[in-house]
Amino acid sequence: MAERFLIISASMGAGHDGAARELARRLEEDGHSAEIVDFLACLPGVGRGIKRVFQFQLDKAPWSYEALYRVFFRLRSLHGPLSWLTTLLSSRHVRRHISRVGATAVVTTYPLASLVLGRERRCGRIRVPTATFVTDFGVHPLWVHPGVDANLCVHPQAAAAAAAATGKPSSAPGPLVPERFFSGLPGRDAAREKLGIPSGSAAILVVAGSWGVGDLQSTFTDLMEDGRYFPVVVCGSNEELRSNLASRATADRALVLGWTDQMPALMAACDVLLQNAGGLTCMEAFAAGLPVLTYRPIPGHGIENAVAMDQAGVAPYVRGPEELIPALERAVSFGGASSKRRGAAMFAGDAAREIITLATAVPTGTIPLSRRAVQAGRRVATSAVVAAVAYGSFTFGADAAVAHGIDVAKPAKGVPAIYVGVRLGASTAGQPGVNALLANSGVTAIVPGSLAVTDPGAIQSLRASGVNVANGGWGKTDDALDLMLPEANVARAARAISAATGSSPGYFVPASGVNGFDLSAARLIHERVVHPTAHVQAGDTTFSVSSGQVYLLDAGGTSSAQIGPTLHALEGAARRAGLRVESYSALR
């Protein structure tokens, strides 16, 4: 018996639509009918805005998307309101499509649509089986809903996460990738000749999704400066990026493309895929047998996918420029073989077959929702979405997450130690006596980025003395916009300290408390945030210490003579309590 399927995707990049199209093709090949609808069209007056905001965040304010992603990842209390608002705005349109198609099952490849299907299914307003196909490796809590009947995932690791989050059947049939990436690839030599790639070079395929977002310019620079590899960069629809990179490339050293339908040929011609999102192109590379590396991932799901794929062993996560060339060398030689095998093993089943089986589970039928209820709620919900989500995410939500120790560096369990950092200022940083004192005590020096610019020699001497150096932010500022522009605080300071010392700080210790914006910006540059649990002023000499405490000795506005007595008193208190003193670098 032929079944009728409704597939709900979203035009948010190519990944959701690509999976939806391949699922529809397979269902139709098996004799069933399948129709794809765009979930953004089910959000009249809101859907286009969501897409524009998302593009703006990724392109102009990546820290804001990272903040939003992390807040909803950690604070589950926000999920209910978001699910309610999204359902109120879209459910009537979703159920109208189900009735129009006469669907015997509904599948979505987009997170927000999964929330709507789950809520409506649980309330009985959708009576046909529903399923979510999770296109990401990292399963964000908003990807899945306990009201949805089944979750289909690209990897067993993701399926386990989906099952734990929902308690519903979750399987891993593998990515939805067209057959041309398995058996339709051209020969390597022919593909290289057609594309103009030198025959003897190691070619690196660099992609950033259909929108061409992320720091591709830095990635391109890293490859060109090394000179050992031939970058083949696909910029998607980002014409500005394509034009910029093309002006820096020569035919014998790099190939820069815009939107292209030649991905099978590009994968056949290249030796490694260097990507930043963990999306559709990544899955296609697994099918094509091309080793995959993640480098400079985009915020939010890009970082989450990078970590998850690295843990699964299918795509190593290259965390900095110093790791890039060694990682490429491993990937183009024997090191890429194991990740290729693990990538190929992901294609263990067929999502279409599992959906067909699900379609026979229960009878079809839907219950309409009152038009009056939808119209009354939409006026409230449209304005409330922006206000509630923005305020809750970027103020209370993010700050509450940090206050509870979420996403901050923590002491190792069971280690009898206290962790000490000393915040230095212009009057104390770089003083020979201070350098020797901090080095001998094994504590961290916390320095502002502004000092690294005005007196880089002071920061250099700290590192040369063997002192662990942490990012103390840019320094005090009266700029009211500093909260909204953490790039000027966290990343700018990190760059200044790195330029002075030759290495990244690794840890960020803000001067005036941790906020959610700083947390997100630090995560983007791979710095751990330190949230001190005890503050000490230089000059104090009486302490009561306990294991696991993170101490911050504030010597930013004092003389160097006051640091020694306070630090020695703190060390003495630790010894009497049977504890050792560690720097912040021992935090996990």
Q: Which helix (H) or strand (E) holds 20?
A: helix 15-29
Look up residue 168 and give its two tokens.
């519903």
Least confidently predicted of 232-236, 271-275, 520-524, 580-584: 520-524
User: How high is the pLDDT of residue 460?
Assistant: 92
CA 108 to chain centre: 22
Residue 417 has pLDDT above 60, yes or no: yes
Closest CA to 548 of 439, 420, 402: 420
User: How high is the pLDDT of residue 3?
Assistant: 93
Residue 373 has pLDDT above 70, yes or no: no
Say how many Å lie between the first and final Cα of the chain, rounded: 56
User: How high is the pLDDT of residue 455?
Assistant: 92
User: How high is the pLDDT of residue 394?
Assistant: 46
Structural class in CATH, domain 4-177+352-362+371-401? alpha beta
Overall average pLDDT of the 487-505 stretch: 83
How many other β-carbons are positioned within 10 Å of the β-carbon of residue 38?
18
Closest CA to 165 of 191, 144, 182, 179: 144
- In the chain, pLDDT over 90 holds for what percent of residues? 63
Look up residue 516 and give its two tokens.
């959610």
pLDDT confidence tier of residue 512, bands split at 50, 70 and 90: low
User: How high is the pLDDT of residue 242?
Assistant: 93
Q: Is the pTM of this model over 0.75?
A: no
Number of H helices, E strands in the chain: 23, 20
Overall average pLDDT of the 89-117 stretch: 96
Residue 393 has pLDDT above 70, yes or no: no
CA 490 to chain centre: 18
Overall average pLDDT of the 100-123 stretch: 96
pLDDT confidence tier of residue 398, bands split at 50, 70 and 90: very low
User: How high is the pLDDT of residue 375?
Assistant: 46
What architecture (CATH level 2) is domain 417-586?
Alpha-Beta Barrel (3.20)
Burial profile 41-68: b = 16 or more Cβ within 10 angstroms, e = fewer: ebbeebbeebbeebeebbbebbbbbbbb
Which residues have CB under 8 Å from 512's CB, separation 6+? none
Instruction: Name the residue with tokens 């449209």.
Output: 382
User: How high is the pLDDT of residue 360?
Assistant: 81
| pLDDT 10s digits, 478-495 | 444 444 454 447 888 998
User: How high is the pLDDT of residue 59?
Assistant: 81
| pLDDT 10s digits, 187-231 | 999 999 999 999 889 999 999 888 888 899 999 999 999 999 999
Overall average pLDDT of the 103-125 stretch: 96
Residue 246 has pLDDT above 80, yes or no: yes
User: Cα-flanking dihedrals φ and ψ of residue 65, to 5°?
Assistant: -70, -40
CATH annotation of 179-345: 3.40.50.2000
Residue 342 has pLDDT above 90, yes or no: yes
Confirm whether 4-177+352-362+371-401 and 417-586 share one CATH topology. no
Least confidently predicted of 335-344, 427-436, 442-451, 514-523: 514-523
Overall average pLDDT of the 418-441 stretch: 90
| Segments making up each domain of the chain, as ranges | 4-177+352-362+371-401, 179-345, 417-586
